[in-house]
Structure 1
Amino acid sequence: MLGKWFILLPLLTTQLRRGTQDPYKKECRTRGIQCHPKAICQLDEVTTDFYCQCLPGYEGDGTNYCQEPGVSITAFNRSACDGFGEQVCLIKVITGAQTVTFRVSIAGNHQPHTIKWYKFYSAQGAKFHSYRRRLTPANNLSPKMALVNSSLALTLFSIEEDDFYPNMFWAEIQAEALPDKQAAIEAYDFTDFQMLNPSHLRYFFVLERMPIEVGEFLEGDTVTIQLPQYLQVSPSSFIKWTKEPSPMTLFGTNAVVLANGTEGIEIKGVKYDYISKMCNGTRSEKNCHCNPGFEGNGVHCIDLDECVEGMPMKCLPEAECINIHGSYICRCPHGFEGDGLYSCVDIDECARGTHNCNRDASCLNTVGSYFCVCQSGFIGNGIHCKAKSTWSPWSPWSVCTVTCGFQNQMRIRLCTHPESGMRCEGPSTDLRRCPNLEPCPMNGQWSEWSPWSVCSETCSGIKKRIRICNSPAPSRGGLPCAGLKEEVTMCSNKKCPVDGMWSPWASWTPCPISCGLGVVSRSRRCNNPAPEHGGKNCTGHGYEEGSCGFPENFCKYLKRPSESIIPGKLIQ
């Protein structure tokens, strides 16, 4: 029997997702976090807090607003894509033999310099990390590339080995023009957030290889495949030889595979799992007939799909029929195991440990599935369980630092697991008096001073005040009050007025003549006391005169001068 062989080079197996992916939406809702319609709930792996983040290309805080970009990018012609997803165009090509052009269309206002093209190189192994190459400006392009139509199109003049998926190209609208001197090659990788939520500012082009036919072989032949003969490239470390274990493989269990590095592979004893026809003699309609599982005229036999309605099959009603080359297989539904023909037995995921329950949850098996319940003391959906907030044990009482008198002791406790969003009921602190403390000796303290007494005089008087040692009075051996219990002070600095008083009169002056009439005088001073501080002066005269002697006609009768004094007029 002849069979055609193909080299099936690595295909794009990543599912091209559509729509917004919001895996933590329920978590944000549980915590009362309302994200903007153009934002999704995210988990901060460092702080373990949930927050809202605007979708790629949108600007804002994720909660109150997410501003839509004023420009978007997409494929110019979707019909040129063999398959497409959200912001992804898949194109199937043959290595080295085809020119391909990636064209984009821009909606909204933009400048030509804001469109940047990149080529992404996926990581290969632990030592080769993923990176990207800037293809703009034009001096970053290799000779096999060209940017045309104001950077709206990128042309590859020949397809090379490293142009295929998982490597890929993309056009991106950037808000600001990057300097041309920026490094052309830089380490780069895509986050889960970028992969699950494509930005409308970026559009990907992915190249996928077409299968390469290498010939027809009979069962038992030895097959040798040399890659350079078909790929037109030099072998590289990225090429990996594998033998698929699925039922549709063309390799039998007795096939021997010898890999010669990356150059080629030799397969001895090719065996087909399913032979489509049997011939007796020459291969003609007369001598050949199709085997069970195939239909045709004997020369050309095609696989019969036993799973279509009306075809005889023996799968259990609950099992799924899957058509394979020359036959079919029965697959039990998810959560069951068995051959699908005679039995589909429930899998106890809880007993096998294949469940996804949280370590703080209990797993309960159900028919075809299981469900998770958070254990006592935890809340959540069973997949995510968080400990409920509870009080920690009380701390020890604080140490009493006094030996007598009065002092409080305190202890505290903490409300654990605040991330649950719950509150603990009751106080977080507790107070009590220090036990076994005797009253301390009480030293006496003065009371407040009494008001000043009334002044003893209206001027130059004194006043006083007192205080009592009773606030508190000394007790239990305490010291008495220190200091004076009475204070005396002058009422005012102003002195009382003093009225002037005369001193005694001085003696009369001697009579100046011995015969006849003369004048004598006497005086006194206002200094006994003198007037002070506004006091009155002395009243009266401070000087007097008088006459002395006798008339001259009497002098001849006198033997000596007269000393008689006759008061006269006062002269001041």
Structure 2
Amino acid sequence: MWLFSPFADVVDCRESWSKMCLRILLLALLLRKVGNVSDPIQNECIYRNIHCHQQAICRLDLVTQFFYCQCLPGYTGDGVNSCQESDGIVTVSDWRICNGTEVQTCLITKTVGGNVTFSVSVTGYNLKLIAWFKFYASKGPIFHSYRKRLTPPANLLPRVLLKNQNLEIELINISEDDFYPNRFWAELETDIMKHVEEEMEPYDDAPFELLNPSRMRYYFVLDSPPIDIGEYLTGDIIQIHVAPYVAISKTAFIRWFKEPLILSQFGENITVLGDGTEGILINGVREDEFGHIRAVVYDFTHEVPGCVAVAQRLFNIRKDITKTCFGSIRSTHGCKCNAGFEGNGVHCVDINECIQGMPFHCLPRARCINTHGSYRCQCVDGYEGDGIFSCIDIDECAQQKDICKQGALCVNTLGSFQCVCQSGYFGDGNQCIATSIWSPWSPWSVCTATCGMQNKMRIRMCTHPESGMRCDGPSAELTPCKAGNPCPVNGQWSEWSPWSTCTTSCLGIKSRVRICDNPPAAYGGLQCSGPAEQSTACGNSDCPVIGLWSSWTPWTPCPVTCGMNLVKRSRICNELFRGTGVADCVGSNQEERSCGFPVDYCKYLSQHSDSIMTGRWI
């Protein structure tokens, strides 16, 4: 293999230093184990009696040359006794948008000029802590990589839209520098992490973080569809140029990589084929050189201070499996078609073994599928196996726990399965409706009365009214509370009795009565309030006016102190009913009687007044 470039004279590649750094990184990446913590110097810590926590890794301080334990990204603690995982988790909201996934990474295939939306879901933290970044990979070794903040307080790019409380970010009109090895990520900026406020800052990948990705960060990597450059045989000469596909400036630096068919952002199994060349020449392609080759263009831009990736193209070299040729000349004499193909050796076409006959027959429950240069037997739906020696029924019920909808049971059948409504449901299995049944009785209501009789009640509901069914029986029940003391009964009046007969036919009086017995007061209740009897006038108002004497006035004083005289008293004839006319009373309105003492008696009193005053009597 040899390399060439028309721009080699303007490129400062510092190839030896770059390759040494790359070898160190590749060595660390090869130590990565999927699903396990990468700890390349674990034995050294154990030898020094330093036992790291299971979520920590043994590290070497290059300055002090001391070994120590460091918790993995996303964990906090001393690395020996504790490594506490953060409650925050960032993950892709819908993995179906990914063309491939790795640990905390979504790989998406897109083309320049299209649109793409990266969306994450976050648990355990406030959504205000989410931040988005774009990473610009450097060509190294003297240039830093950079990261650009895409969320406030940094200014947004004109073609970047934040949505759904920063959980989504949309790239409009995907540009050349959005593709791998550049990438994007969402990150939770907690109190224990440094809050990034710089819009653009140097940021070099740490192998420790790449090998042990934190759950508080999720990557999105864009890759472009490969450019097919044709089919080749082993030993062919292949030339690939990037200039027809990407505009290249005089300051550009191009690096060529050999990659596996499945992209990995961790850079595993990546080999550098050439540095600083616009194109490569493969002089006699080997078996291991078929597949993907990527050209990454590094250059200076107005946005990023360093020399970073500004464009890339992915090429695919396919191996021609239709023929085998001896020598470099393609002729009918020097080439022959491989098994599974037919032709003159130069032009070979695929044989459809499924039509022309196969060396092995597929099982009855398998179908033949023609492939490029061969065929395969594939068990029909509901069976699994190689299709030639076995096709075993798949137990869909065991493999897919939620294959049937709620209310249905999965029953495995030969080559398929069936959903059957379970007890308490009815339907065809595809749709099962819950049968209406009574809910459990509610607790009895509380008896609040302190005396007398009271009932308590409980109720139940007929569930699932959408079934259109009715439940048999009552929805409520009553039962007496425990007997208590009789409650006090306040007395209530009975109805008034009829009016009595008028006492006279002319302006008489009639009356009526009522009794406190409806009910009578009992058990300490109150008696009836108000009068038990009422009177009112009655009779003919045109009859003679009857007067009614008032009470007698007191007797007038006796006008003499000695001797006899008269005293008087009087009374007034009043109307029996006011406003009926002049009163007419029977009898006299005055009375007289005698008063005083006889004259002789007065003289006697006068003569013996002293004795009377002293209490002596003669």
TMscore range, shorter length: 0.3 to 0.5
After TM superposition, the score normalised by the length of structure 2 is 0.41
After TM superposition, the score normalised by the length of structure 1 is 0.44
Give the number of the structure whose residues are more often helix, by fraction: 2
